[in-house]
Structure 1
Amino acid sequence: MLLLLLASGVPIGVGLMLVGIGGLAVMIAPEAAVIKAGVVSFEVISKYELGVLPLFLLMAHLCFAAGASRDFFDVAAKFLGHRRGGLALASIGGCAGFGAISGSSLATVSTISSVALPEMRRAGYHPGFAAGALAAGGTLGSLIPPSGALIVFGIIAEQSIGKLFAAAIVPGATQALSYMATIALLCLWRPELGPATVRVPWRDRLPALRQVADIFALMLFVIGGLMIGWFTPTEAASVGVVGALLLLAVRGGFTRAAVAGALRATLRTAGMIYVVIIGALLFANFISASEITEALSGAVSDLHASPVVAIIAMTLILLLLGSFLDGVALMLLTTPIFLPIAEQLGYSPIWFGIFLVRTMEIGFVHPPLGLNIYVIQGLARDLSLGTIFRGVIPFLVADFLHLAAIIAVPALALWLPGLVAG
């Protein structure tokens, strides 16, 4: 029923809510289902910890207004543009830097692509290669802290958002490096894919760093303070908003229109996410009452399969569902089912959050849905979807190898949270 609702165009939050309430009404009683819906809605809206989400969103939109998107790409292009595939490498660097502000894959790919794609095409880059690099690089916004997906997962799974952010740093960095290695190998094999541009002298490179020094310092202070315990997540987000307001003022963009636009965009996005979270928690209550997770856990135990085999089976299911479900929908649909099974297999909930978001990211570039692909195609109408999907294939290979590394070596996600906690 949920899949039918989503396929018919019902918003994910509303679909989860209807199925959750309907399922509880059938299994328990209609009156109990309505009461549960009211209790869950009130708890979500009044939850202090959830204030971190709109605050980080506001910080991101204030940084957008300060011109952060072009700055990150410009700086990376000045340092890397003279190499083969240098502008594509700069796009990955720009996506990583901007992802640390936006916390959103779609925001990252749309913003960086609007700046980088015209530059790469003017420089003679192969259109499919340029679009594929940007589509893949945009997924970094979902993993690099402060990630909106990790915040939502932490709330639903009742896990420390600070630990999730710490756990995402090494996988996020290695993901960006894997994309850069892919670009370097492709340009070594076929140099015409990404011709080198004019080398920028060092006297122009070093001053360019000042363009992003203030934003980088703000992100380091906010995320670093959260990881080492100076702030709670909500306090860190509040400090980030104040810092972003100061940054906007210093950069000369502090106007009524800029602040009002940031507030409007934040309220629109946060309102949608609140509905999604309420729906997801009602759906999770229904899943819990139905004992589906216990039945699936028992089925996994009866197979006597190793934990790695069970996780690989989950990966295949997630990739299949990700072919036609939005990433957040995929996470909210599967977390109540798969997280208890992963815990029974001995996996840390923190590791599972990183694994789930990383798998979800692949869905952003995986056919046939591939939302990042459609965003780029919307920016460059003359590029066919086939051209962009073919261009992203090498990066999909890098994604699968990177995901395999996270499954094979859980310490990639768990080392830093353990170090911080220690």
Structure 2
Amino acid sequence: MSPEIWGALGIVALLALLTLGLPIGVALAAVGAGGIAILVTPEAALIKAGVVAFETIAKYELGVLPLFLLMAHLCFAAGASRDFFDAAARFIGHRPGGLALASIAGCAGFGAISGSSLATAATIGSVALPEMRKHNYSPAFATGALAAGGTLGALIPPSGALIVFGIIAEQSIGRLFAAAVIPGLSQALFYMIGIYILCRIWPELGPKTARVPWRERLPALRRIIDIVALVMFVVGGLMVGWFTPTEAASVGAAGSFLLCAIRGALTRAAMTKALSDTLRTTGMIYVVIIGAILFSTFVSLTGITGHMSALVADLDAGPLAAVLVMTLLLLVLGSFLDGLALMLLTAPIFLPIIIDLGLSPIWFGIFLVRTMEIGFVHPPLGLNCYVIHGIAKDIPLGTIFRGIVPFLAIDFVHLAVIIAFPAVTLWLPKVLGA
């Protein structure tokens, strides 16, 4: 059989393994190494696997992952999630849908620490959902807002998804973070505008709460100033070139350690949990990256990307048509693959095509993560919806999926803006010279 056919069979095999529940990294590594063994030799596959594993673990730049994760877990221990939601609720809770608005604001703030969609949805959801239910919010509306808001954690810097993309695509993490700022903030703004409009039309979705006097608002604001300052210093320093990614992550981890100590949250139990969670997640991501590199090597050997690029060129349909086809494929695949699997499966195939079309790989990274986020909330997978269901088991999963519908519509509008106006992502990196 030709290499192209082996490549197509490899992609089918990967999808089958992921559907059966095999861990992402193991599935990628198995298909990648198996494909190399078939196309070259088993000895070459074994050597390549060993070299990739050693180089990945020894890579200095990958130190950014465990350090940013440690920063996030230490901020969890310091009570960042409740502080962000509480501050937002006190300032805008009296507006129509105010607690839903506060949930989105809390997700945006906490997303700047966690870098994870699922962690943001779970953490803010556990704080905000009881409050919204106490104030008679529609269960579908409340859970939909939290599931959608959780996706902000995957895009707002420092984003774990962007770090992984930057490593496997060999792109500047600082430029990716700078490119994500405006899309991340505009995504939160789109959600908040949608919530406000829905609650103006149907007030019963999100009843107003009592207005909190200013003397109670300012203390809540003071409780998040230290965390906001730390995040702005770390991410801002990385974007303007004060730090390399690893240095920025080191500063963030040290700063969060100090912040935890000042807040009196630096206990032995908190440190043990933060370190164990960091090591567990880091190990999983390292396996995924090793598998992704092996799979990418296999795909490049098959020549599939070259054929797809030639097909796009022969169609003469232009970059926009190619991007729309990619969007459709990503949305379909996102129906049954989780976000990281979707990124690692498609990036090696689509990125060479994007470059051949003359489009920016930095823009593609933001586009890919934004499309990946939609997979976190749309059925039948919708992992964020399952996370929220885990917090409130008495709310049927169908109710949560119904509540996500208006936010999915907002997601599609926002994604269309990113596709139609690449400057939304590329303007800030250009201004900062990142």
Cα drift, residue 255 of structure 1: 1.3
Superposed, which structure 2 residues align to 1:25-104 within 5 Å?
Answer: 25-104=37-116
Alignment-mate amino acid for residue 75 of structure 2? C
**SS of aligned partner of 2:317:** coil
Of residues 274, 280, 305, the one that matches 1:268 is 280
Cα drift, residue 188 of structure 1: 1.1
Alignment-mate amino acid for residue 56 of structure 1? F
Structure 1 partner of 2:292:
280
Of residues 225, 244, 247, the one that matches 1:213 is 225
Structure 2 partner of 1:239:
251
Structure 2 partner of 1:128:
140
Structure 1 partner of 2:310:
298
Structure 2 partner of 1:9:
21
**SS of aligned partner of 1:365:** coil
Of residues 174, 188, 196, the one that matches 2:208 is 196
Cα drift, residue 9 of structure 1: 1.4
Deviations 1:93-139 (A, max 9, x none): 00000000000000000000000001001001000000000000000
Alignment-mate amino acid for residue 247 of structure 1? L
Of residues 161, 164, 168, the one that matches 2:173 is 161
Does residue 329 (structure 1) correspond to residue 341 (structure 2)? The answer is: yes
Does residue 148 (structure 1) correspond to residue 160 (structure 2)? The answer is: yes
**SS of aligned partner of 1:382:** coil
Alignment-mate amino acid for residue 266 of structure 1? T
Superposed, which structure 2 residues align to 1:396-407 within 5 Å?
Answer: 396-407=408-419
Cα drift, residue 257 of structure 1: 1.3
Superposed, which structure 2 residues align to 1:341-360 within 5 Å?
Answer: 341-360=353-372
Q: For 1:76 and 1:35, how far apart are their aligned partners in 2?
A: 53
Of all paired residues, the percent bearing the same amino acid is: 72
**SS of aligned partner of 1:195:** coil
Q: For 1:310 and 1:228, how far apart are their aligned partners in 2?
A: 33
Of residues 173, 183, 186, the one that matches 2:195 is 183
Q: For 2:178 and 2:239, how far apart are their aligned partners in 1?
A: 6
Does residue 389 (structure 1) correspond to residue 395 (structure 2)? The answer is: no
Structure 1 partner of 2:7:
none
Cα drift, residue 383 of structure 1: 0.8
Deviations 1:139-176 (A, max 9, x none): 00000000000000000000000000000000000000
Alignment-mate amino acid for residue 353 of structure 2? I
Moved more, 199-208 or 73-82: 199-208
Alignment-mate amino acid for residue 184 of structure 1? Y
Structure 2 partner of 1:114:
126
Alignment-mate amino acid for residue 334 of structure 1? T
Q: For 1:278 and 1:313, how far apart are their aligned partners in 2?
A: 28
**SS of aligned partner of 1:209:** helix
Q: For 1:209 and 1:6, how far apart are their aligned partners in 2?
A: 44
Extract unaligned runs of 5+ from structure 2.
1-12
**SS of aligned partner of 1:325:** coil
Does residue 223 (structure 1) correspond to residue 221 (structure 2)? The answer is: no
Cα drift, residue 228 of structure 1: 1.1
Of residues 359, 363, 388, the one that matches 1:376 is 388
Q: For 2:22 and 2:142, how far apart are their aligned partners in 1?
A: 34
Alignment-mate amino acid for residue 77 of structure 2? A
TM-score for the superposition, normalised by structure 2: 0.97
Deviations 1:290-342 (A, max 9, x none): 11100110111111111111100000000000000010000000000001111
TM-score for the superposition, normalised by structure 1: 0.99
Q: For 1:236 and 1:20, how far apart are their aligned partners in 2?
A: 33
Following TM superposition, the consecutive aligned residue runs of length 4 or more in structure 1 with deviations greater than 2 angstroms are none
Q: For 2:377 and 2:401, how far apart are their aligned partners in 1?
A: 8
Q: For 2:252 and 2:395, how far apart are their aligned partners in 1?
A: 38
Q: For 1:227 and 1:201, how far apart are their aligned partners in 2?
A: 37
Does residue 415 (structure 1) correspond to residue 427 (structure 2)? The answer is: yes
Cα drift, residue 186 of structure 1: 0.4
Cα drift, residue 7 of structure 1: 1.3
Cα drift, residue 199 of structure 1: 0.2
**SS of aligned partner of 2:266:** coil
Does residue 319 (structure 1) correspond to residue 331 (structure 2)? The answer is: yes
Q: For 1:249 and 1:10, how far apart are their aligned partners in 2?
A: 40
**SS of aligned partner of 1:381:** coil
Alignment-mate amino acid for residue 404 of structure 2? V
Q: For 2:79 and 2:214, how far apart are their aligned partners in 1?
A: 23
Deviations 1:56-85 (A, max 9, x none): 000000000001010000000000101110
Moved more, 377-386 or 149-158: 377-386
Q: For 1:146 and 1:203, how far apart are their aligned partners in 2?
A: 33
Cα drift, residue 187 of structure 1: 0.4
